Chain A
Amino acid sequence: MTILIADDAAFMRMRLRKLLEEAGHDVIEAANGREAVAKYQEHRPHAVLMDITMPELDGVAATREICQSDPTARVIMVSALGQQAMIVAAIQAGAKDFVVKPYEPERILQAIDKWARVG
């Protein structure tokens, strides 16, 4: 599957990329929300792992744009515990799931598999 990782921290992207590639997925990266929306339109990935706090366009706004253009988009928020209100907003904007940081790698892979099965 093709997965889009949207996170402004290069380290996080690297970690996620490693994890996903080892599980046999193809990875596209975006370093901010604006780029995430553009890359989504361009590649139509199977799923998006979306950070919340990002420059240019935050994860919630990016999710909203992506889900408006493609209601079937599988956006999974990856966020810290304190960001509850943001996650709620993202879910209402169309995000399908969330994983709380710090996450166990297994959780990410499970979430992706799960959504792959559903749709």
Chain B
Amino acid sequence: MRFDEIRWDSEEERALFLEEAFELLGTLEEGALKTPPPIEAMFRAAHTLKGSGGMLGLTEWVERAHRLEDAIDRRGRPDWQWTPELQQLVLETVDALRAELSGAPADDRTALVRFDLRWSASCPMPGVRALQAYNAVSAAIPGTMSDPPVDRLGDWHGEVSVLWVPSVADVEEQVQALLAVVDDLVEVKRVDRALEAPHLTESPTDESQRPDRRDATLRISADTLEAIMEGIGELLLDHGQLEHRLGHALDSATRSVFEHMRRRALDLQDLTLRARMLPLDTLFRQYPRAVHDIARKLNKKIELKTQGGDTELDRVVMDRLHEPLLHLLRNACDHGIESPEERIQLGKPETGTVRLTAYAAQGHVHIQLEDDGRGIDWQKLRDKAEREGWMSHDEAERAREEELQDLLFRPGVSTRDQVTDLSGRGVGLDVVRAFLDEIHGAISVESRWGQGTTFHIELPMTMAIVTALIVEAGPWTVGFPIATVERIESVSVAGVKSALGHDAVSDRNTPLPVFSLTELLDPDQPHEDHYVVRVKDGRTQAALTVGEVTGQQEIVIKPVEGLTGLTPWLSGVALLGDGRLALVVDVRRLVPVTRSEGEALREDDVILLGSNQMELLVFRLNGDQRYGINVYKTREVLPATTVTRVAGQHPWLDGVVYVRGQALPVINLYRALDLDPQADSAPLLMVAEFNQTVQAFGVYEVEQMVRVGWDAVETLPDLMEGHNRFVTGLINHPTLGTIQLLDFEALLAAVAPPAPEAEPQLPPLGPEVTVWLADDSAVARQQVEKALASLGVTMRTFRDGTELLAAVRGEGARPDVVVLDVEMPKLDGYSVARQLKESAETAAIPIILHTSLSGKWQASRAQEIDADAVITKFDPGLLAATVVRLVAARPLSAVS
């Protein structure tokens, strides 16, 4: 006889059997996955299962349970051992018995009624709530069972728990009424075949007699939520357009209605977002068994360790994360972890470890999948890259691992050539990446041959909720991800002292630099600081003084498009409960790198001085040609808005736009670059700040930010100078193709030539004074020459830093002053300055860094590199005066 054929004497009897069986099966399954397994308890469980089944006459059941009991009975068997085969037997038996039990309740609707209890995603302890629910129902209706079983509810975390309730009269009304007192219960749903029978035919009871349904909710499918989300997004866009179209015509009352509308829409967006969050455990819980099964198939020993399952993630993302993650797990087991024999030979523990870690940081959810297996054979990958013609022999041999890892994600690439039925030939990493691209996530891999591989997945911040410490700094409200906050104390308690020429507090007896948060954001902002917040993120550690500490809050971080370049420390903004907007900071990028932290220079997340790198915002104007602008020059990217034409304007100007109360000239790149004039259709406006002015450019599409080394920038052949006078360099990017670097300063000079200034009244220095200038922009070189002409000095110009360095080194010449542009192909100004200052022979040469990048960030960075002066382009008077000052201040020995 099988379970579903039993005729039960009473509901109670059946309920009791089911509850006990579920519990015992749980004991067996959990035990089998533990090391060492609790054999005694498991044996008793198998024994009891056999006994109860026997009482009911369940033949197959008893046979299975008996086989299991026998296999794990170690009484009188001194040589008995727990083996993987036994483990498998236990798990298979559990599956089989569960299968026999399942389906049964559904087949027999009169016996037990199933209620699905859906718990609020924000419910702090769903397990305890479920226990409360079970207590409430079972006290009134004996025989009620819980799945998961009662003794496991305490630490259960999940979204839906199940109650099996004996089908007494009016069971649904009773259960609903009993559960009305339980909090966080989103929905109680009866699940049975009778569900389709229209409940409407029942005569509706008097409304007043119904249990309070304030907490009751409807089940909403993920698709519907998604649609709501999209709808709100569109509403916000429409709102923006309307406001833009009506623009200045709005009176203040209408404007406030508009503002209210926008607020409500943002609130709704937040709410909807929250409704979609689930702890990652929902996903992680499925993997131990999966890894076990995979390992068995591969005859390997693998242990899966998970951590951080309470990190919450958007359920839409989670649904789509499952397959890729499972794929990576399979890959790790199949390609990563070696066979036990191989591992022993290598001196590794026989059992391989796969570690799945999740955490939220910087508004992102990070998932790390780490194995201690054989790692990636980079050499093999180099060979493959060459064979496939992706790289030349030299490129392949020279390529750094970061460059090679890109290849791993190409279709059809595997680091292992064996074919197995589990993961195929490494097919799938391209799929994994494609998925992550779709949701704006990222994946990277680190691997040491022979030691293991770590995949690092970063999922987007918009989907994640972060707890943040909210503080006030001057006029700003700022949020720190709570994970980066170490301690908060009042200024008077912290004991700020001066150490190494800088304010510092004592941190375990070493000085920790103190910065004022307000000053970091804007040095000119008046402020009064009362608290010290100690922050730590990776190796970056500092104490920040702030005005007030408001408290902790859960926030949804929204990225700010286009701002990340100018303000790399801003991970996004968050709308606080009271309607204020908080800036959420990335501590690593906020805290200035202090001189003593030499090792921080290796931190590759931040572009550092002398790293000879820049971050490029890549955009298109028409066709496939890509153009780049240093993100430090960009301020934001906006949808195109109405441009007001100005009489008598330069033909390359479109007119003026108003952005945040500021009138900005709009330069038409299409006309300037002689491209197909699509000016009117350019859908985006890129606002850029350089040479101390702010201007906008219409562009077709802003694609992405890429980090490139200045050494990858090629200068143009001489022949091209006249033609492409607005292009300073070319980058051959591995995935984006050729990117043209535009000479924005030349463009600006062409449209708005610097106003002729009064000749500076400076004493001429004479031709014996030599000034060397490196600048990649011909226009800039001309401007500087002109500015210094009145000094009568001998000028020598170079098109990039390497040429200048070569001249200094090769000729042994010692210029009296060197003027360096910051952004130059091959070697940027910082790096040239560093190399000059590091060599004893050239250290005494005064250096002026001439930068078009505005703002205090650049200035403070330049100072760290020992430039003698930093001048923001373009101020001829200041430049000439600085040359004069530096020549006068030369140490005597350096005078030629």
Contact = CB atoms under 8 A, between A and B. Distances in A.
Interface of A: 81, 84-85, 87-88, 91-92, 96-98, 100, 107, 111, 114-115, 117-118
Given A84-B154, A85-B154, A91-B135, A97 B128 contact: no
B764 interface: no
A91 B125 CA distance: 13
Interface of B: 124-125, 127-128, 131-132, 135, 153-155, 180-183, 212
A46 to B, nearest CB: 15
A83 to B, nearest CB: 9
A118 B181 contact: yes
A97 B215 CA distance: 15
A85 B156 CA distance: 11
Interface of B is mostly: loop
17 contacts: A84-B128, A88-B128, A88-B131, A91-B131, A91-B132, A91-B135, A92-B131, A92-B135, A96-B132, A96-B181, A97-B132, A98-B125, A98-B128, A100-B125, A115-B181, A118-B180, A118-B181
Contacts of B131: 88, 91-92
A91 B124 contact: no
A81 B181 contact: no
Given A84-B127, A92-B131, A118-B181, 10 more contacts: A87-B125, A88-B128, A88-B153, A96-B181, A98-B128, A100-B125, A107-B183, A111-B183, A114-B180, A118-B180
A3 B707 CA distance: 63
Contacts of A118: 180-181
Nearest to B157: A84
Contacts of A84: 125, 127-128, 154-155
B183 A91 contact: no
Nearest to A90: B128
A67 B183 CA distance: 21
B181 A114 contact: yes
Contacts of B181: 96-97, 114-115, 118
A96 B127 CA distance: 15
A63 B869 CA distance: 73
Contacts of A115: 181
B183 A87 contact: no
B128 A91 contact: yes
10 smallest CB-CB distances across A and B, nearest first, come from A88-B154, A100-B124, A87-B128, A118-B181, A84-B125, A114-B181, A91-B131, A81-B124, A91-B132, A88-B128
Nearest to A114: B181
B176 to A, nearest CB: 13
A117 B351 CA distance: 58
A98 B234 CA distance: 40
Contacts of B135: 91-92
A45 B125 CA distance: 27
Nearest to B132: A91
Nearest to A85: B154
Nearest to B135: A91
B211 to A, nearest CB: 9
B216 to A, nearest CB: 14
A118 B153 CA distance: 24
Contacts of A92: 131, 135
A88 B152 CA distance: 11
A19 to B, nearest CB: 18
Nearest to B153: A88
B133 to A, nearest CB: 10
A98 B182 CA distance: 9
Contacts of A87: 125, 128
B143 to A, nearest CB: 19
A22 to B, nearest CB: 22
Contacts of B125: 81, 84, 87, 98, 100
Contacts of B132: 91, 96-98
A101 B124 CA distance: 10
Contacts of A98: 125, 128, 132
A100 B400 CA distance: 51
Contacts of B182: 97
Nearest to B125: A84
A117 B183 contact: no
A88 B180 CA distance: 20
A114 B132 CA distance: 14
Nearest to A88: B154
Nearest to A99: B183
